[in-house]
């Protein structure tokens, strides 16, 4: 039996590698993300795209280097013409705001490659309950099964020790 596939969006990579923060919400997300990689990641096939790799190289140089090292072991999904077309549809149909077109591309890459889950902490434009139904509708109308969009917390095993 093959493992379910997970597309790791850039926010998950950032939380897994970032320095601890005093912001309690972000600190909680960082801890959950690190626990997910420590205890759950082995249950899945993990993927990124060139979009993730490119976004991860931005910002603070030392942090970017750490993210780049972290990403070395992950398989990359191609950003195909089909993914670009689906991303365009997601934006044109209003499922994802135009200013968040790169977020639409993350969703599209995962959908086009039939990935089971899209893991993200981007709750503004990706893991957003108000937008999720429309995202899924646009993907299905374009002939793709949308990935389950979730946070690392939602993809934790219920039997895992806390």
What does the DSSP assignment read for 75-118?
A: EEE---HHHHHHHHHHHHTTSS-GGGHHHHHHHHHHHHTT-SEE
Residues in the chain: 162
pTM of the model: 0.92
Q: How confident is the model at residue 21 (pLDDT cuts 50, 70, 90)?
A: confident
Per-residue pLDDT tens digits for 81-121: 999 999 999 999 999 999 999 999 999 999 999 999 999 99
- In 3D, which of 136, 137, 120, 127 has the Cα closest to residue 16? 120
- The CATH number given to 5-155 is 3.40.50.1010
Q: What is residue 151's DSSP assignment?
A: -
The whole-number pLDDT of residue 20 equals 84
Burial classification of residue 95, based on how many CB atoms lie within 10 Å of its CB (0-12 exposed, 13-18 middle, 19 or more buried): buried
Angle among Cα 65, 70, 73 to the nearest 5 degrees reads 130
C-alpha distances (whole Å) from 99 to each of 43, 57, 87, 92 are 34, 20, 12, 12
Per-residue pLDDT tens digits for 111-147: 999 999 999 999 999 999 989 999 999 999 999 999 9
Distance CA 75, CA 102 (A): 20
């Amino acid at each position: 039996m093959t493992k379910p596939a997970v597309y790791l969006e850039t926010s998950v990579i950032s939380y897994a590698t970032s320095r601890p923060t005093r912001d309690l919400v972000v600190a909680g997300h960082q801890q959950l993300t690190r626990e997910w990689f420590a205890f759950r990641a082995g249950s899945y096939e993990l993927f990124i795209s060139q979009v993730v790799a490119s976004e991860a190289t931005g910002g603070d140089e030392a942090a970017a280097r750490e993210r780049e090292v972290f990403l070395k072991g992950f398989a990359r999904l191609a950003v195909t013409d089909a993914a670009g077309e689906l991303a365009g549809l997601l934006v044109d149909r209003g499922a994802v705001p135009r200013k968040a077109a790169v977020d639409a591309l993350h969703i599209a890459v995962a959908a086009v490659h039939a990935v089971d889950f899209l893991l993200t902490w981007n709750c503004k434009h990706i893991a957003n309950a108000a937008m999720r139904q429309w995202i899924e509708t646009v993907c299905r109308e374009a002939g793709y099964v949308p990935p389950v969009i979730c946070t690392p917390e939602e993809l934790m095993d219920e039997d895992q020790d806390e």
